[in-house]
Structure 1
Amino acid sequence: MNDQQHPYDPYYPQPQIIGYDEYGQPVYQQPQAPQQGQGQHYDPYGGQQQQPQQGYGYDPYGGQQQPQQPQQGSPYDPYGQQQGYAYPSYDTGQQWAAPAEPAPAPATQAAPVTPAAPVAAPAGVPGQRPASERSAPARQAGGDDDRDYRTEQFSFIEEPDEDSEDVIDWLKFTESRSERREEARRRGRNRVVALVVVLVLAVAGGVGYLWSAGKLPGSSEAEQKGNAATGPQKRDTIVVHLHDLKNGGTSTALLVNNATTRQGTTVLLPNSVVVADEEGSVTTLGKSVEDDGAGGTREAIGNLLGTRITGTWRLDTPYLENLVETVSGIETDTDTDVPGAKKGADPLVRKGEKQTLNGRAAVAYATYRAPGEAEAKQLQRFGQVMYGVLRKISSDPEAATVTIQTLQQILDPSLPEKDLAASLARLAEHAKIGDHKTALLPVGADGALTEDAGGSVVKDILGGKVTAPEAGEVTRVSIRDGSGKGATETARIVLINGGYAFVGGAEAPTRETSQVLYADDAQKATAAEVAKTLGLPATAVTKGEPSNAAAVTVVLGQDYKPQGPR
């Protein structure tokens, strides 16, 4: 062992705490450097044991003590690197004894240590004790205030503070209370929204049910169609002529699609109905089809009924047979047996309900008329076949066009394939749901339209009342003969020569005075001209209800005297 003890001896006593600084950290006693000239050194093994003297270092093993003198202004050295501050070496076989109090320094060498004034801790440091509760650390006299401290020398002691815990509890309480209030408001808003949605759905469902059940005012189908019928209506009308190439003769019907009321109608026209040709000559519908062709007949029917016909569909019996076969047959209720082509053969069509007819059977049933049977019966069978065909044709215009093209028939230029298919598709849509009916045009024995025809067919189905003729259009005039003289034919000739279109005549009860009736005020002047043409007084002109589709109706009385036009 060297006389000079190693400064890092682990058995050297630790420095003594003499106080706390303003940050609450311990302050240790400054070690005293050995006096120069002293030849004695610290002996940790007790080679020389002397009593400690004032001013000398402490020797826990009885070695010679070296005098220690505190040096003023020396910095604090916690690792014992200053001269004279040595630690004993570590020895596991020797028990360490607590060091005794160091001897106080002589009064002549060091000034007394005075405690430093307490410094208040910075405000707002969490867990730090208030300055009033901490003891001020003592400083050595003459110590240097400008010490060089390092960050590892400081540590903060977390101490619970009752006041801070109370504040935290209050913040937690207020925060949880605010959250509960916000959650309650949110639940309340959600309940209100849910209630409103339920009420809206309930009202909508109730209205929808009442509407579908037709219990709301004006919501039933009949009321809707009735309301639509009172206003302007959009109609599409085509005329169909069925030509029987085997037995001869024709059958005529009007296919009417009312887009406003969503109703389809087949109007059957007897061949005996009286129409006026292009020159104003009176003829029957059957003769007009044979003589005047499609265009002339179409105009004659339009003038008679006061309606606009968009096109003509000539349907010969071979094409009707192909059409029924294309749609895979039809089903209808038959009212009679139709015999086969050969005598004694089974009936081609049997009487009964829901009879299935192929193309050949459909043609036979549509054209069959028993001996002595009225023409109306045959027309009704023709209407049944057309209704069965409409139920089987596709309601898609493109698919219906393909069906018409399959027939490879030559159509009238007024009705090309696409237009015909579009009309049939709209009618098929009504027929599939039962919104299609068949009506027979009422005609008297003389071929003139009856009074019922004006209301049931002309007004309701074909377009309502007769309006004023357009510029250049011939005025339509009808006659009711109540003279008792059979003057209808004479009056008809006079009117045609006068430039009017005769649209039918009928017998009427005998009356004394004649009348010239008009419905539209725009026809008042025309009615006066008609009265003058027939030699009737101006007082005979009166506002009333013309018959059928006529703009003016002449009711002949016993005062009528046949004469030429004036």
Structure 2
Amino acid sequence: MNDRYDAGYGSDQQYELVGYDEYGQPVYRQVPPQQPPQQPYDPYAQQGYGYDPYATGQQQPVPPYEGHDPYEGRTAGHDPYGAGGTAAGYDPYGPTAASGQQPRVAEQTAYIPQQAGPAEEPEEPRADERDYRTGQFAFVEEPDGDSEDVIDWLAFTENRTERREEARRRARSRIVALVVVMALCAVGGVGYLWYAGKLPGLSSSDEKTGTTTAVGAQKRDVVVVHLHDTRSGDTATALLVDNTTTEQGTTVLLPNSLSLTGDDGTTTTLAKSVEDDGSAGTREALDTVLGTEIQGTWRLDTPYLQNLVDLVGNIDIDTDTDVPDPSAKKSKGAAPLVTKGEAQTLSGKMAVAYATYRGSGEAQNAQLQRFGQVMQGVLRKLSSDAQAATVTVQTLQQILDPSMTDKDLGTFLAQLADLAKGGDHRTALLPVQGDGTLSAETSASVVKDVLGGTAKSPDQGAAVRVSLQNATGVKDNTEKARVVLLNGGFTFLDGGTAGAAQAASKVVYTDAGDKADATEVAKTLGLPTSAVSKGKTTSNANVSVILGQDYAPSS
């Protein structure tokens, strides 16, 4: 590059063009001073528009003086942006620039920053001229992925700790609740045992008999059922007992020979009472002899029993004998209708045949126990739902005793069915003596424990129940004493005949409130008052009498 120009008016410095920067501006370097040519006055040169920020040893621009017009007195060749001009009007984009030949004019060195033009980024200083200072930097904390991970981990750790604490609190609450429930169950269990009289140490025992009396009274629902065999005309009777206190069910089988006392004081048997007195009279006679409160009577004829078994879907029982078909002609080698064995499935017809069967030479108790097996099988198959059991009863279309409705019987049978399915139902035979009376052992084991029979204090005006056992050795004395007691306003209960005669008579009472009644009984029978004593009576009587040889019947 040989092009040179003067720095400005009155300046003795000369510069040589060495090239252009990235913005198209000329770049110069200082050369030895030469005699500057005469140049027209240029106000921009005084303002320092020829200032090169990249040149070393540059001079400070001189501001124009006040009132001076920088455009005044310009020559035609002063326009640096003109299309044509002299050497003073050099166009950096013209052919001269392309050829690299530029005239040496001072106006060429001027860069006019005030002129409007395209917005450009500020020029970056060269690396060797950069001067970094602390105040020139602003530090911005950029987010880092690792920092987010740390925050997430801290949040997870905090949440996990809170969950552990919450789990510990819930566990402690559960333990406390479990302890409270166990304590309540223990208290409830002890209370139930106390109420049922099964808690050791809380029962009262009689010193003479050693029997135990429950502390709490037990509630029982009792229904009497009479099975009528329409083929033979025989009957079988059982008591269905639901002990709601102990949640135990029992079927008590009553022999037909059981001695009962009618309303007129006459003695009869259970079988005869069912035939003559009907359901109401028999129910009252049973209440008298057993000391119970029977709620209703269920007459079940054999056709209805057959339908009942078919409705529940057959029954499974252990049969104790082969039973022939009663409707078939008797012939040798005929197959039995019911086969002896365990878990035999019986249809309605088979169940009726088994329940009414009495073999040759068998006692009536054998047939009675088979009837009890059939009833047990029916209860195990009957629905435990009261509504469903009621529908079953209604489907039988039988005529019930007015003392019970379909709903009452269905609800009662459903409760027994639930006990039977849970193994809380059993069958018991009421043992009677040869003359049909109850023994003291029977009163203690069945009448009292199962039926809850007891000699209740009679209501105002009610007759006192007197059980009489004949130990005189004279059979007719029982009838004579019965008539005397009935005439005296007492209820007579046949206590049977003693195995051996006794010399002295005894009149016994248990409750202190019955002492006056016992004394009155002795006077009515013509016995001395010294025969009256406190002791153990039968459970179904207020006063028990053992009639000895000192008894002298009145004429």
TM superposition score normalised by structure 2? 0.67
1:343 aligns with 2:297: no
Q: Which residue pairs with 2:317 in the alignment?
A: 332
Q: Distance in 2 between matches of 1:489 and 1:363?
A: 40
Q: Distance in 2 between matches of 1:453 and 1:472?
A: 29
1:280-359 equivalent positions in 2, closer than 5 A: 280-341=265-326, 342-344=329-331, 345-359=334-348
Code of the aligned partner of 1:535 = G
Displacement of 1:303 in angstroms is 0.8
Q: Distance in 1 between matches of 2:171 and 2:136?
A: 55
Are the aligned partners of 1:49 and 1:64 in contact in 2 as well (CA < 8 Å)? no
Q: Which residue pairs with 1:478 in the alignment?
A: 467
Displacement of 1:548 in angstroms is 3.9
Q: Which residue pairs with 1:251 in the alignment?
A: 236
Q: Which residue pairs with 2:246 in the alignment?
A: 261
Q: Which residue pairs with 1:68 in the alignment?
A: 66
Are the aligned partners of 1:218 and 1:224 in contact in 2 as well (CA < 8 Å)? no
Structure 2: gaps (5+ residues): 1-37, 52-60, 73-77, 82-90, 93-107, 114-134, 142-150, 200-213
Displacement of 1:346 in angstroms is 2.0
Alignment identity in percent?
Answer: 50
Q: Distance in 1 between matches of 2:486 and 2:345?
A: 50
Instruction: Look up the SS of the partner of 1:365 in the other structure.
Output: helix
Are the aligned partners of 1:46 and 1:61 in contact in 2 as well (CA < 8 Å)? no
Are the aligned partners of 2:443 and 2:539 in contact in 1 as well (CA < 8 Å)? yes
Counterpart of 2:456 (choices 447, 459, 467) is 467
Q: Distance in 1 between matches of 2:473 and 2:162?
A: 93
TM superposition score normalised by structure 1? 0.66
Counterpart of 1:231 (choices 216, 225, 233) is 216
Q: Distance in 1 between matches of 2:360 and 2:42?
A: 168
1:1-12 equivalent positions in 2, closer than 5 A: none
Are the aligned partners of 2:465 and 2:491 in contact in 1 as well (CA < 8 Å)? yes
Q: Which residue pairs with 2:144 in the alignment?
A: none
Displacement of 1:310 in angstroms is 0.8
Q: Which residue pairs with 1:47 in the alignment?
A: 40
Instruction: Look up the SS of the partner of 2:507 in the other structure.
Output: strand
Structure 1: gaps (5+ residues): 1-44, 70-82, 100-156, 166-174
1:454 aligns with 2:443: yes
Change (3 A) 1:511 1:198: same
Q: Distance in 1 between matches of 2:44 and 2:408?
A: 140
Matched pairs, number: 427
Counterpart of 2:511 (choices 493, 500, 520) is 520
Displacement of 1:497 in angstroms is 1.9
Q: Distance in 1 between matches of 2:489 and 2:479?
A: 16
Are the aligned partners of 2:225 and 2:240 in contact in 1 as well (CA < 8 Å)? yes
Q: Distance in 2 between matches of 1:370 and 1:238?
A: 28
Are the aligned partners of 1:269 and 1:441 in contact in 2 as well (CA < 8 Å)? yes
Change (3 A) 1:402 1:540: same
Q: Which residue pairs with 2:85 in the alignment?
A: none
Change (3 A) 1:462 1:180: closer
Instruction: Look up the SS of the partner of 1:254 in the other structure.
Output: strand
Change (3 A) 1:183 1:369: closer
Are the aligned partners of 1:467 and 1:520 in contact in 2 as well (CA < 8 Å)? no
Q: Which residue pairs with 1:10 in the alignment?
A: none
Q: Which residue pairs with 1:504 in the alignment?
A: 494
Are the aligned partners of 2:43 and 2:70 in contact in 1 as well (CA < 8 Å)? no
Instruction: Look up the SS of the partner of 2:533 in the other structure.
Output: strand
Change (3 A) 1:185 1:473: same
1:434 aligns with 2:423: yes
Q: Distance in 2 between matches of 1:51 and 1:308?
A: 138
Are the aligned partners of 2:314 and 2:345 in contact in 1 as well (CA < 8 Å)? yes
Q: Which residue pairs with 2:109 in the alignment?
A: 95
1:391 aligns with 2:389: no
